[in-house]
Structure 1
Amino acid sequence: MKAIRISEFGLPKVMELTEIDRPVPKSDEILVKVYASGVNPVDLVVRAGSNAALSYNLNLPMTLGWDTAGVIEELGEKVTGFQKGDAVYGVPNFPGEGSYAEYVAAKASRFALKPYNICFNDAAGVPLAALTAWTAMFEFGKLKMGQRILIQGASGSVGGFAVQFAKSIEAYVIGTASADSFDYLRQIGADELIDYKTQKFEDLVKKVDVVLEVSSVRDNNEREKSVQVLKNNGILVSVNTDFPFNEEVIHALDKKNCRGELSANQARKEWLEEIGKLIESGKVKVPQGKIFVLHEAVEAHSLIENKSVNGKLILQVREQDQ
């Protein structure tokens, strides 16, 4: 089968389209015939080898990609709840062999049936970003109906899902973003918006239950300001797990009897099923991504690094015939 592989860490040019053996699923895995794979910031980090802790766990050569949609080709002997031919979406094993490939084998527990009302290309852009938002808000942030949440970085892939998930449980959503994203964020349900370029959120927001940091900015001084806007007993959740809270942030949290959580993405079938129901019901809209074919992976990574494109990028592996 064809796959985009790296044999060394480095610039986008280290990615090569090559022929490798089709994987064989283990007893608890499914073999997915890949139709599309999402391109995520973590893919660039892995490819570049820029995160020492992450790179330590990776074995080269390897296939990139941790976001996919396709059709089940084979099932391991212990897999239940799926059958051959099911259209699915999910997150391949991480770290492990990824989804920039014609086939991927991964634990069945990391996949769910694809929402019937979106195509494979759109579905491939959902799992990693949506699960990152879901894990952070509900597993670590414990967000509940009627609570107030401040989402920092609301216009990104993770932030957009976070806004919609929060609104699906009738939370009050305040988002920080640039003003040119306000129309989009209002359309998906944000109640209140703050332009991070011209406004100080700490002067405008008070007594929120949860602050969700999905912005790529890694600044503990900003986190101290986030603690200021929390209620007593509130929760500050960051998806930037590579950037721990410093002593000042921890002290500020303790002073208000608040919690700080670093939220690592968890790929769970039951959460993907819940997300799928929200998409099928129309409560969550999936933005369409810019489409590349598999051999254009170098171009896709280069565009992200050069900040030449907005929104999600998708590698289409096969024609969308289903």
Structure 2
Amino acid sequence: MRAFIVKSYGKKEKLHLIELPEPMVKENEVLVQIHSAGVNLLDSLIKNGDFKLFLPYKPPFVNGHDLAGVVTKVGSNVGRFKIGDEVYSRVGDHRIGTFAEYIAVNEGDLALKPKNLTMDEAGSIPLVGLTAWQALVEIGQIKKGQKVFIQAGSGGVGTFAIQLAKHLGAYVATTTSSANTDWVKKLGADLVIDYKTEDFETKLKDYDLVLHSNRDPKVLEKSFRILRSGGQLISLVGPPTPEFAQELGLPWYLKLVTKLLSFGAKKKAKKANSSFRFLFMRADGNQLAKITSLIESGVIKPVIDKIFPIEQTNEALAYVESGRAKGKVVIKIK
């Protein structure tokens, strides 16, 4: 099978297209023939080596986290899926490799593909969908009438999170460029702030939750200041926390590292009488099945910017890295 691998870590490194044997299937796994793979900034960060302290993949390895495809083999203990099922998944950490024609996936990480989506549309959903779900539903427990600030509303996570937050009954503010204002309003945003010309801190006050995705330390500080007392800041970009290290089962010295890294953010949260949480989303087929229901009922629609053929996987990754994508970027593999 064809697959794109990380030969060595580095920002200037490209993925390499090689031939690999078809993966073997363990008793609790299914083999999926991948039709489409969503491209995420996480794929780039993994390639660059940004997470090698916490997720020590040893090059060479196949990159990619999102997939939509068809089950071609099932392990002896698999009970939820059968050959021929159309499925999608954000595969589990330490088991990545969706920039390939086949992958073996734990059945707990899979869900049936929404019937009303194409493979390309379905492949765009899992990582951003689960990120938004875990931030707004699982951790944030957003309720009707609450106020949510979603940064970068025209990005992959942003476009999904706006739709989900509106479904939950929240008042939604977001940032984007003026060119995208009408577009994100159609997704459900109530208040749109042009990040190039406006300061969100002067527009927002007493928010219940901030979904933080900007690496600028000043943006983090301002985000704490717009929260109400008891509000939540959920960050997708860090700094990582000891709780994150605990969830990953990392050794004591890495827990200490995360404690030092997150000290400043935790201090700011305490000063604002709010909470700070770093979210590194996890694979979860059951949550993905709930997202399937929302998609099939028309509550949430996928937003795709560009679709690249498998041969242009490096170009797809570069486009995501550029930050210009409106919604998701997808690689068509079959």
Does the alignment reach a TM-score above 0.5?
yes
CA distance in 1, matches of 2:223, 2:318: 33
Quick check: 1:224 aligned with 2:221?
A: yes
CA distance in 2, matches of 1:95, 1:180: 39
Q: Root-mean-square deviation (CA), in Å?
A: 2.0
* Contact 2:239-2:262 at 8 Å conserved across structures: no
What corresponds to 2:144 in structure 1? 145
- 1:218–1:23 distance in 2 versus 1, CA, 3 Å: same
Deviations 1:253-293 (A, max 9, x none): 22343111111102211211111111111111111341222
CA distance in 2, matches of 1:312, 1:211: 22
What corresponds to 1:296 in structure 2? 312
Matches within 5 A, 1:1-322: 1-10=1-10, 14-54=14-54, 57-213=56-212, 215=213, 217-242=214-239, 247-306=263-322, 310-318=326-334
Deviations 1:176-201 (A, max 9, x none): 22111111111111111111221121
SS at match of 1:53: coil
CA distance in 2, matches of 1:157, 1:12: 24
Q: Residue type of the partner of 1:231?
A: R
CA distance in 2, matches of 1:18, 1:131: 30
TM-score (norm 1): 0.91
CA distance in 1, matches of 2:12, 2:107: 30
Offset, 1:150: 0.9
Q: Residue type of the partner of 1:35?
A: H
CA distance in 2, matches of 1:261, 1:307: 24
User: Which range is displaced more, 164-173 or 299-308?
Assistant: 299-308
Q: Residue type of the partner of 2:16?
A: E
- 1:310–1:170 distance in 2 versus 1, CA, 3 Å: closer
User: Which range is displaced more, 297-306 or 180-189?
Assistant: 297-306
Q: Residue type of the partner of 2:156?
A: S
What corresponds to 2:254 in structure 1? none
User: Which range is displaced more, 117-126 or 241-250?
Assistant: 241-250
* Contact 1:290-1:313 at 8 Å conserved across structures: yes
CA distance in 2, matches of 1:305, 1:239: 16
SS at match of 2:313: helix
CA distance in 2, matches of 1:12, 1:3: 19
* Contact 2:13-2:48 at 8 Å conserved across structures: no
CA distance in 1, matches of 2:23, 2:262: 43
Give aligned pairs, total.
Answer: 315
Offset, 1:219: 2.8
* Contact 1:292-1:314 at 8 Å conserved across structures: yes
Offset, 1:208: 1.1
CA distance in 2, matches of 1:306, 1:257: 36
Deviations 1:50-96 (A, max 9, x none): 44425x61022111110000011112222222221110010123223
TM-score (norm 2): 0.88
Q: Which runs of 5+ in 1 are unaligned?
A: none
Offset, 1:222: 2.2
Q: Residue type of the partner of 1:255?
A: K
Deviations 1:219-252 (A, max 9, x none): 3332222122111111111011355675454333
CA distance in 1, matches of 2:233, 2:89: 27
* Contact 1:12-1:298 at 8 Å conserved across structures: no
User: Which range is displaced more, 84-93 or 157-166?
Assistant: 84-93
* Contact 1:75-1:84 at 8 Å conserved across structures: yes
SS at match of 1:297: helix
* Contact 1:141-1:236 at 8 Å conserved across structures: no
Q: Residue type of the partner of 2:73?
A: E
CA distance in 1, matches of 2:287, 2:128: 12
* Contact 1:92-1:105 at 8 Å conserved across structures: no
SS at match of 2:53: helix
- 1:222–1:243 distance in 2 versus 1, CA, 3 Å: farther
- 1:302–1:175 distance in 2 versus 1, CA, 3 Å: closer
- 1:241–1:106 distance in 2 versus 1, CA, 3 Å: farther
SS at match of 1:31: strand
